[in-house]
């Protein structure tokens, strides 16, 4: 079986004798191009392709590959089924969940595949984002959203990190569970409800979330404090008393001389 380098060079040689609109790429080259595009971002990919155009497909071709595959993630969609497939494939049942935000440029885009508008602040119901909320065929409704709805200034991301079953097992990559645009107006209770939502839905897929992590934002720290009864507690929200609470059993051994 030829190595990737051999396939890559062969792809360049074959495409040099063809017009640019008739370039062809092998499956391995397409996968390499997707990895470079995702990890290096668009500008990096375009710079590399500018110098090696016969070797890599265009950005438009990559977007078609992404749209026709299951790599696409719709805003506010939680991929619990994909999470189950991923964990089942690597034979892992325990994980840590993480939630954090990053700043984004405020702008509105139209998502043709879901017929919805992306870029508005996603509404939260009990802390859970509403998927495809800004979906309409009415121009008046769209105009109303532009006049009354805020554009999201932050992208909120949920990641799930698999925990290897033994110390000798290789570390697996984190899984992107969901992402959606928000404003910095949600509360600690909404964060707590999201954590429970992720925990319960993961548990239904036989995946145990044994902990949550984030940065030092005050609202996240307060949510964690409420969960752990650290300087604060919720009288009707005792997570450690739930049947699904994670419990560590320690064993002690004694030796005699």
Confidence (pTM): 0.74
Q: Read out DSSP for 132-199?
A: T-S--S-HHHHHHHHHHSPBP-EEEEEEEEEE-SSTTSPPPPPEEEEEEEE-TT--HHHHHHHHHHHH
Residue 256's pLDDT is 56
Q: Which token pair is 201?
A: 């839905």
Mean pLDDT of the chain: 86
Residue 40's pLDDT is 85
Distances (CA, A) of 110 to 68, 157, 253: 18, 20, 63
Which of 140, 145, 79, 81 shows the shortest CA–CA distance to 118? 145
Tell whether the model's pLDDT for residue 165 goes beyond 60. yes
Cα 160 to its chain centre, rounded Å, is: 8
Tens-place pLDDT, residues 62-111:
988 887 776 678 899 999 999 999 999 999 999 999 999 989 989 999 98
Q: Read out DSSP for the chain?
A: ---HHHHHHHHHHHHHTS-GGG----HHHHHHHHHHHHHHHHHHHHHHHHH-TTTS--HHHHHHHHHTSTT---TT---HHHHHHHHHHHT--EEEEEEEEEE-----EEETTTTEEESBPPPEETTEEPTT-S--S-HHHHHHHHHHSPBP-EEEEEEEEEE-SSTTSPPPPPEEEEEEEE-TT--HHHHHHHHHHHHHHHHHTT-EEEEEE--S-HHHHHHHHHHHTSS---TT--GGGSTT-------------
Tens-place pLDDT, residues 210-229:
888 888 788 888 887 777 76
**For the chain, which residues make up each domain, given as ranges?**
4-67, 80-241
Cα 60 to its chain centre, rounded Å, is: 23
- Spatial distance between the Cα atoms of 134 and 153, rounded to a whole number of angstroms: 16
Tens-place pLDDT, residues 40-66:
888 999 999 998 888 999 999 998 888
Residue 241's pLDDT is 64
- Spatial distance between the Cα atoms of 46 and 50, rounded to a whole number of angstroms: 6
- Spatial distance between the Cα atoms of 53 and 19, rounded to a whole number of angstroms: 11
Split at pLDDT 50, 70, 90, the class of 244 is low
Tens-place pLDDT, residues 182-209:
998 999 889 989 999 999 999 999 999 9
């Amino acid at each position: 079986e030829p190595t990737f380098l051999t396939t890559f060079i062969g792809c360049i040689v074959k495409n040099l004798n063809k017009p640019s609109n008739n370039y062809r790429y092998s499956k391995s080259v397409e996968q390499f191009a997707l990895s470079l595009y995702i990890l290096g971002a668009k500008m990096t990919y375009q710079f590399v392709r500018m110098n090696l155009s016969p070797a890599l497909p265009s950005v438009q071709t990559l977007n078609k590959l992404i749209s026709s595959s299951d790599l696409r993630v719709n805003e506010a969609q939680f991929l619990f089924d994909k999470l189950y497939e991923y964990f089942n494939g690597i034979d892992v049942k325990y994980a840590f969940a993480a939630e954090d935000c990053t700043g984004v440029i405020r702008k509105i885009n139209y998502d043709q595949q879901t017929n919805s508008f992306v870029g508005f602040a996603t509404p939260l119901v009990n802390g859970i984002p509403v998927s495809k909320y800004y979906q309409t065929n009415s121009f008046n409704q769209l105009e109303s959203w532009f006049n009354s709805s805020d554009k999201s200034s932050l992208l909120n991301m949920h990641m799930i990190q698999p925990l290897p079953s033994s110390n000798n097992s290789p570390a697996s990559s984190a899984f992107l569970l969901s992402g959606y645009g928000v404003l910095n107006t949600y509360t600690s209770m909404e964060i707590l409800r999201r954590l429970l939502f992720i925990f319960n839905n993961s548990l239904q897929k036989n995946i145990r979330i044994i902990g949550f992590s984030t940065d030092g934002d005050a609202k996240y720290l307060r949510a964690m404090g409420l969960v752990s009864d650290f300087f604060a507690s919720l009288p009707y929200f005792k997570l450690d008393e739930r049947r699904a609470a994670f419990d560590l059993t320690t064993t002690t051994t004694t030796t005699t001389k």
